[in-house]
Homo-oligomer: A and B are copies of this chain.
Amino acid sequence: MDKVRVIEIKKSVFAENEKDADELRKDLKDRGVFLLNLMSSPGSGKTTTLIRTINLLKDKLRIAVMEADIDSDVDAIKIKEATGIQSIQLHTGGMCHLDAEMTRQGLEGLDLTDVDLVVLENVGNLVCPAEFDTGSVCNAMILSVPEGDDKPLKYPLMFSVCDVVVINKTDVLPYFDFDLDKCQEYIHMRNPKARVIPVCAKTGEGIDAFAGWLLEEVNIWKQE
């Protein structure tokens, strides 16, 4: 297996995360780097969705990935092997989320020359990551069918901070009591503007819609 760079993230010393996130966003804007923060529960398919998306976009955008995890480096290796792009692993030392300063520590481990888009795969958790602005331009989340259509009722903040909700594992819809319309309705209760994109990362179905959304967001942001 390939080796990947592993960065041990230290706890932030800054109390004012929002201010720090705005500064990081500005720094990245000056450097022409779009940061996407991707969140979800454990096991919802973030890495597989990301691999499919990168392979659709890598001829159009220069992409790098930071994989945050409590432990292990399996995801960063998977991304590197499956896409060939720059991929590093961030170890959070048991911490359940990333804030702007921790994201900045991760970014320092990447070579950002000639990079248009950095995807931060946040820690698998529907609670804490939603509370901390990472400095990203957009927040995306993945909800997978087996988790249930009621998740927007139970984790309101996560759904309200995301610009797009990808509903993954649509191939197993026949085996679960998951009502796609009801789920969309719950998501829009939390966040009327959220885009909802059903996909199946395993087969690739729907990934073009997510990749298209992301490419458009990057292009609009570049022209701002």
Where the two chains meet, the residues of A that have a C-beta atom closer than 8 Å to any C-beta of B are 41-44, 69-72, 74, 94, 96, 123-128, 131, 144-148, 150-151, 153-157, 169, 171-172, 175-176
Contacts and interface: CB of A to CB of B under 8 A. Distances in A.
A69 B175 contact: no
A153 B72 contact: yes
Contacts of A131: 94
B148 A43 contact: yes
B74 A43 contact: no
A90 to B, nearest CB: 13
B70 A96 contact: no
B154 A70 contact: yes
Given A146-B169, A150-B74, A154-B42, A128 B126 contact: no
Given A41-B42, A125-B126, A128-B96, A70 B157 contact: yes
B146 A70 contact: no
Contacts of A157: 70, 94
Contacts of A96: 96, 125, 127-128
Main secondary structure of the interface of A (DSSP, over half): loop
Contacts of A74: 150, 153-154
Contacts of A94: 127, 131, 157
B124 A43 contact: no
A42 B128 contact: no
26 contacts: A41-B41, A41-B43, A41-B147, A42-B126, A42-B151, A43-B144, A43-B148, A43-B151, A44-B147, A69-B154, A70-B127, A71-B153, A71-B154, A71-B156, A72-B153, A96-B125, A123-B127, A124-B126, A124-B154, A125-B126, A125-B128, A144-B146, A146-B172, A172-B175, A172-B176, A175-B175
